[in-house]
Amino acid sequence: MSVRKLKPITPGQRFRVVNGFDALTADKPEKSLLAPLKKSGGRNSQGKMTMRHRGGGHKRRYRIIDFKRDKQDVSATVKSIQYDPNRTAFIALLEYTDGEKRYVIAQNGLQVGQQVSAGESAAPEIGNALPLSAIPLGTIISCIELRPGQGAIMARSAGTFAQLMAKEGKFATVKMPSGETRLILSACLATIGAVSNSDHQLLVSGKAGRSRWLGRRPRTRPVAMNPVDHPMGGGEGRASGGHPRSRNGIPAKGYRTRVRTKKTNRYILERRKK
């Protein structure tokens, strides 16, 4: 994994830092695993804007990802590592011994030609998916289920990983990417290794136009608004805006919004870092 700093031959390239893409091995996606992707532009089914700053962007096709890893005890070969425009992580194309092809989230260090598998009998090696009960303590994991059979929903973005801390009874203790420590059922699947493309956080767009390519429209700073438009607007001169809060007045930066009576609070042993 590497990044490249472009030469400043144009104003937009002066501060641009791009991905080296040296981990990728194919530039054409598998056609059988593509699906159409319709943009909403932040509108709901009535056509009303419910999410601001969305719209435009390059046309994409969705890559169907196997988050469940339910083809167990069948060996698969990594055919290629590919770019996915719909996520920050890279994806790996697997071909199983019966000829079926599937996309999975690629882990750091996953190589073309490597054999991977899923299930309780799989070895705890990079790219293999195992239940938490079969993973050794201290292992770095990613793509974690929260309910058995649900499919991976946690630690899926570029460079993220969790760590298996302890196992007791039907629960395993996992330290999450946020710093939170929580209990997860031992029957839930997790993939060995950290998610690929860990250099994603080092990228610099270089110009506003690249945000438009990604489907992000311009955003007005709240302190530049009038009091009628935002709680942080108004004031004489260049006022700082007061305490940071959202458009509807909910405080930000440290204010806890999690419901105190939420049933799953009992599974959180240690809250995330402030």
Q: What was the pLDDT predicted at 274?
A: 66
Any residues with CB less than 8 A from the CB of 16 and at least 6 apart, and which?
Answer: 5, 6, 204, 205, 206, 207
184 and 130 within one domain: yes
Question: 30 lies in a domain?
Answer: yes
> How many structural domains is the chain composed of?
2
191 and 230 within one domain: no
Question: 124 lies in a domain?
Answer: yes
> How far apart are the C-alpha atoms of 109 and 126, rounded to whole Å?
7
The DSSP secondary structure of 222-273, one letter per residue, reads GGGS-TTT-TT---SSS---SS-B-TTS-B-SS---S-TT-GGGGGEEEPPP
Q: What was the pLDDT predicted at 2?
A: 87
Question: 212 lies in a domain?
Answer: no
Total-model pTM: 0.93
The CATH number that applies at residue 244 is 4.10.950.10
129 and 63 within one domain: yes
106 and 185 within one domain: yes
Question: pLDDT tens digits, the chain, 274 residues: what are they?
Answer: 689 999 999 999 999 999 999 999 998 999 999 999 999 999 999 999 999 999 999 999 999 999 999 999 999 999 999 999 999 999 999 999 999 999 999 999 999 999 999 999 999 999 999 999 999 999 999 999 999 999 999 999 999 999 999 999 999 999 999 999 999 999 999 999 999 999 999 999 999 999 999 999 999 999 999 999 999 999 999 999 899 999 999 999 989 999 999 999 999 999 987 6
193 and 69 within one domain: yes
The CATH number that applies at residue 192 is 2.40.50.140
Beta strands in the chain (DSSP E): 3-5, 17-19, 34-36, 61-63, 76-82, 91-96, 101-105, 115-116, 129-131, 140-142, 162-168, 171-175, 181-185, 189-192, 268-270
Q: What was the pLDDT predicted at 96?
A: 96
> How far apart are the C-alpha atoms of 247 and 65, rounded to whole Å?
35
Q: What was the pLDDT predicted at 1?
A: 65
229 and 115 within one domain: no
- For residue 73, the enclosing domain spans 3-39+51-201
**Domain edge (last residue) among 145, 174, 201:** 201
189 and 236 within one domain: no
> At residue 196, what are phi and psi to the nearest 5 degrees?
-70, 175
161 and 272 within one domain: no
**Amino acid symbol at 164:** L
**Domain edge (last residue) among 155, 170, 201:** 201
150 and 80 within one domain: yes
164 and 111 within one domain: yes
**Domain edge (last residue) among 150, 170, 201:** 201
Question: 206 lies in a domain?
Answer: no
Distance of CA 42 to the CA centre of its chain: 20
Question: 69 lies in a domain?
Answer: yes
